[in-house]
Structure 1
Amino acid sequence: MRITGSIVLYHNERDVLLEAINSFLADDFEKHLYLIDNSRTNELQDIIQDSHVTYIHNPANPGFGAAHNIALKLAHTTASDFHLILNPDVYFGKGVMLELLDFVRDREDIGNIMPKVLYPDGSVQYLCKLLPTPYDWIGRRFNPFKNMVEKRNQLFELKFTGYDKIMEVPYLSGCFMFLRIAALKKVGMFDEGIFMYGEEADLCRRIIDGGFKTVFYPKATIYHHFEKGSHKSWRLTKIGIQSAIYYFNKWGWFFDRRRHRINQGTLKKLT
């Protein structure tokens, strides 16, 4: 089995980025990692010298999904079986990739799998979600009533499940997407109309519509530094809202029967 991976860079801290790179390289399998650098300069090109790593600098910043698509196109041409979308602030121990591969290898109906994601202090990150409604992506951001937001999060982020069992989840985080190349060949790659935020929801939805499963696998664990940039910067908030508008224009705002069926089916299985 050949596994490729990609990390999109943007003026990252070197120590944190090296943790992510070395996590992918740690296990013994046929592999290649693409570093797609959207930074204004190529100052990160010397981050690592390894025959399993290719560095590519973009002359302009095309966005998160578009940058990963550069690597995915290369993965398609190198007979890769799986491709890992990895955030530059994620790290994990040796054996994680092999454990995921062992689980997913012969389950050909799984198109995307994500392990349990923890903060560095060991607390859980709630990154399993239902397909979003406009309230989930826009309304929650501006709702001043924390109790209302948390009540919705219990459902939207599937907190009620305890995050302790294998489960099909329609919307998994883009910080770690272990993707089956055969699924991508059927449904396509990231929608480059989304610059950043929400592209993983769009891709997960298309993977499901292509007849594949998107699965949460808590038996493997990774760590994610994770800073909600969209909640700390109005520029990123604007990008997030623009992405949400694009997504809902594509799939439907308040009347989206397919979203309703997928979400209700998910909740029925989990409750």
Structure 2
Amino acid sequence: MIGNRYPEVSQNGSEQPNTGAAETPAREKQGVQPDCSVIVVSWNTHDYLALCLHSILSDPSVAVASEGSTPAGQLSQTRVEIIVVDNASIDGSAEMVAANFPQVRLLVNNRNLGFAAANNQAIAQASGRVLFLLNPDAYVRPGALHTLVGFLDERPGVAAAGPNVLNPDGTWQAAAFRFATLWDLFCEAVFLSVLFPHSRLFARKELGGFDRDRVRRVDWIQGCALAIRREAWDAVGPFDEGYWMYVEELDWCRRANQQGYRLYFTPDAEVVHYGKRATAKARASVLPLGFRSHFRYFRKFDGRATELAVRAITFVQMGLRAGVSVVMIALGNDRDRWRENLRAYTAVMREALRSG
């Protein structure tokens, strides 16, 4: 069974770490000081997770930490610790990790705590000077971790860095952004950002029209592959667990910006992310929860009036997409997929009409 990181369960979960995984915070253990702590939060991602972990452990520029940390700026290999948080999977993911990846520290929760809480749980035990959050449906290309750690070591004022995220076919996947304005959301709603993906006017949020082959400063980085300096994490604080799914990394990056930190896109580090392919079957339940977090974010940072405007734009956006879905169903084109899309879009429309 291949699933996604988000369930349809109660948001009031409790944790139950497996024996030995959480008895002592790793930051207190003597003789083990990795350069990078790789954090993977998983829910029913058995096959993807195996590929993800293998990509890290097979990277010749990476070594599993066992002794003191290599000094910053003198990295021959990047010493890593890998922490997997299993959010109550039922597909054997946790058992697979325990059996096949003894180098990995496994935390097993008896309920799904959500992405934000599970990351906070792991980071509280992490000991690396860099925290690398990686989705289970993603894998690193050789040298990616080494590059990201080196990038942050050389730039003390940078809080976080994001790699060049690719689709499985090698095409570019948007994973570094500017903070969205109402104009950006409108352009997205009426397909202008899709019709003109390289436009600095219509695709501003996705960095349209800018060179993606160079290092550049960005506002926020998607959490599918996000390297954070530990000092910055401690200063900015943990993920806001009020977000059940999505937006938690956007919220964190917004707070980092408010504190004067900088964030960068780093094209020389590459990560492949399956993304929507891994979550397609759960789209009707996942999408409205994601937009619920979206609305909460705008209310938190920009006020109630902006939130209401975002809800109105979203209602129009989903209405247009629902209309397209109806047409595609009528034409007989992949009806099952378009019916699932229609259910997802109408669910988001209902969410947009909620009082919040």
Fold similarity call, TM over 0.5: yes
- 1:168 is aligned, of 207, 210, 217, to 217
- 1:146 is aligned, of 184, 187, 191, to 191
Moved more, 116-125 or 246-255: 246-255
CA distance in 2 between counterparts of 1:235 and 1:241 reads: 11
CA distance in 2 between counterparts of 1:45 and 1:91 reads: 18
1:78-89 to 2 correspondence within 5 Å?
78=127, 80-89=128-137
TM-score (norm 2): 0.64
Could you give the per-residue CA deviations for residues 204-258 of structure 1, whole angstroms, max 9, x where no partner exists?
11122222211001122221112174897232121012101211121014669xx
Q: Look up the equivalent residue of 2:292 and give its one-letter code.
A: Q
CA distance in 1 between counterparts of 2:230 and 2:182 reads: 30
CA distance in 1 between counterparts of 2:95 and 2:281 reads: 32
Could you give the per-residue CA deviations for residues 43-88 of structure 1, whole angstroms, max 9, x where no partner exists?
222323444311111121121111111111111xx3x201110011
- 1:108 is aligned, of 147, 156, 171, to 156
Partner of 2:56: 24
Partner of 2:266: 217
* Secondary structure, aligned partner of 2:242: coil
Partner of 1:53: 104
Partner of 1:207: 256
Could you give the per-residue CA deviations for residues 124-150 of structure 1, whole angstroms, max 9, x where no partner exists?
11222111245756x667x3x434654
Whether the 8 Å CA contact 1:109–1:213 is kept in 2: the answer is: yes
TM-score (norm 1): 0.83
- 2:237 is aligned, of 177, 181, 188, to 188
For the aligned residue pairs, the C-alpha RMSD in angstroms reads 2.5
Residues 33 and 87 of structure 1, relative CA distance in 2, 3 Å threshold: same
Whether the 8 Å CA contact 2:144–2:268 is kept in 1: the answer is: no
Residues 146 and 42 of structure 1, relative CA distance in 2, 3 Å threshold: closer
CA distance in 2 between counterparts of 1:98 and 1:255 reads: 41
CA distance in 2 between counterparts of 1:81 and 1:44 reads: 28
CA distance in 1 between counterparts of 2:216 and 2:193 reads: 26
- 1:227 is aligned, of 276, 279, 284, to 276
Whether the 8 Å CA contact 1:231–1:237 is kept in 2: the answer is: no
Whether the 8 Å CA contact 2:44–2:91 is kept in 1: the answer is: no
Partner of 2:332: none
Residues 52 and 239 of structure 1, relative CA distance in 2, 3 Å threshold: same
Give ranges in structure 2 of 5+ residues lacking alignment: 1-33, 64-77, 308-356
Segments ≥4 residues shifted beyond 6 Å: none
Residues 255 and 231 of structure 1, relative CA distance in 2, 3 Å threshold: farther
1:83-98 to 2 correspondence within 5 Å?
83-98=131-146
Whether the 8 Å CA contact 1:34–1:71 is kept in 2: the answer is: yes
CA distance in 2 between counterparts of 1:249 and 1:225 reads: 30
- 2:180 is aligned, of 122, 132, 144, to 132
The structure whose Rg is larger is 2
CA distance in 2 between counterparts of 1:57 and 1:210 reads: 34
Once the 2 structures are TM-superposed, how far is the Cα of residue 153 of structure 1 from its aligned partner?
A: 5.3
* Secondary structure, aligned partner of 2:116: helix
Give ranges in structure 1 of 5+ residues lacking alignment: 257-271
Partner of 1:33: 82
* Secondary structure, aligned partner of 1:6: strand
CA distance in 1 between counterparts of 2:268 and 2:165 reads: 11
* Secondary structure, aligned partner of 2:146: helix
* Secondary structure, aligned partner of 2:112: coil
CA distance in 1 between counterparts of 2:206 and 2:286 reads: 22
